[in-house]
Amino acid sequence: MEEDKKRFIQEFVPGKQVTLSHLIANPDPEMFEKLGITQAGALGILTLTPSETVIIAGDLATKAASVSLGFLDRFTGSLVLVGSVSEVELAMEKVNTFLSENLKYTPSVITKS
């Protein structure tokens, strides 16, 4: 009997950049349940290259605004911020600005849904 295998392909963008910045305002409560994080007014999703940048971004975000870290993965460069819509947006703006101005990263436009 043949077993179905799932394949995971991970793509890295060369250079230093904020690949994705997306704010989800008022997510469905089920999303928080599926993610295993405490419910709040917004989720901020960032993907950064190189992946270790999420450590810097997580530190910057929590110091810049009243947000908590829902998820941080230094191997994939994924960061999820949790808080009110305005605080998550502020944190994401500060992360993008700092990385762009101080570390010469290519920033990302913050999209919203």
Alpha helices in 4-110 (DSSP H): 29-35, 53-64, 85-103
The alpha carbons of the chain give a radius of gyration, in whole angstroms, of: 15
For the chain, domain boundaries: 17-112
pLDDT band for position 15 (50/70/90)?
confident
What confidence tens digit (pLDDT) does each residue in 16-74 have? 889 999 999 999 999 999 999 988 999 999 999 998 999 999 999 999 999 999 999 99
Contact 110, 25 (CB under 8 A): no
What confidence tens digit (pLDDT) does each residue in 39-50 have? 899 999 999 999
CATH of domain 17-112: 3.30.70.1710
User: Structure tokens of 85?
Assistant: 């819509």
pTM of the model: 0.84
Look at residue 10 and tell me whether its pLDDT is greater than 80.
no
